[in-house]
Amino acid sequence: MNKIPISKIKLYPDKTNRKQPSLIRSFSSFRYECGCDEAGRGCLAGPVVAAAVILPPDFICPQLNDSKQLSPRMREQLRKIIEKEALAWSVASVDNREIDRINILNASILAMHKAIDGLQIKPQFIVVDGNRFKPYADIPFQTIVKGDSKYLSIAAASVLAKTHRDELMEILGEKFPEYEWKKNKGYPTAEHREMIRRYGCTEYHRLSFRLLKEEPF
């Protein structure tokens, strides 16, 4: 199957991202630089999901940005482009029980390591959104605060992590519709906390988190 050039793929305007960013192609000089990011770190329910992405050196996509700055429709369009055009990509998750056992920071890093494990190409360098990471094998890495709004590969990982996690939470939401996970994706909205107060916790809630505001840490 012939690859469709990115320039030929139609993207709908994203009103939430009117000023299109100009992201940096890479941090290092290595060909196989992998961008990593996670989604769901602050949620009360569900897994934390991470993505790892290696983009081709000539990858161009002006609409790509931190997934939090994009509309759901734009994220889904970009997901298709990233998954088609990336040299390699992988998504992995760590469930709520493991989050409770090892804490959310360690779970986020574990999810990123698992995502890197799934790449079909071994990266030569890793760039990670944020300021915390643990060494992966013998591969050099760099953490970058707000990296998802600065570097293409991290932004791409941000989009994949977010869209894959949202999809999973919508599936779980069919099992527990009263918590409105299709809408809130497990984040600590007032409505979500009210449903926890009313119905209690599910098997997917993170018991190590403060589920209700009045609960002590």
> Could you tell me the residue ranges of all domains in the chain?
23-166
Q: Of all residues in the chain, what percent carry a pLDDT higher than 70? A: 88
> pLDDT band at 203, cuts 50/70/90?
very high
Sorting pLDDT into bands at 50, 70 and 90, what band is 75?
very high
Name the least confident of 66-75, 111-120, 187-196.
66-75
Q: Which residue has the tokens 């926890």?
A: 196
Asked if 181 contacts 156 with a C-beta cutoff of 8 angstroms, the reply is: no
Q: What is the pLDDT of residue 9?
A: 43
pLDDT band at 13 (very low <50, low <70, confident <90, very high): very low
* pLDDT tier at 32, thresholds 50, 70, 90: very high
Measured CA to CA, the distance from residue 76 to residue 196 in angstroms comes to 30
The whole-number average pLDDT for the span 122-128 is 98
Q: What is the pLDDT of residue 133?
A: 98
Residue 24 burial (CB < 10 Å; 0-12/13-18/19+)?
A: middle
pLDDT score, position 67: 86
Going by DSSP bridges, is the β-strand pair 125-129/33-39 parallel, antiparallel, or unpaired?
A: parallel
d(CA 47, CA 169): 9
- Average pLDDT rounded to a whole number, residues 90-112: 98
Domain 23-166 class in CATH:
alpha beta
Position 216 scores a pLDDT of 59
Average pLDDT over residues 55-79: 91
Question: Each residue of 157-193: pLDDT tens digit?
Answer: 999 999 999 999 999 999 999 999 999 999 999 999 9
Confidence (pLDDT) at 22: 80
pLDDT of residue 64 exceeding 70: yes
* Residue 19 confidence (pLDDT) above 80: no
Per-residue model confidence (pLDDT) at position 62: 87
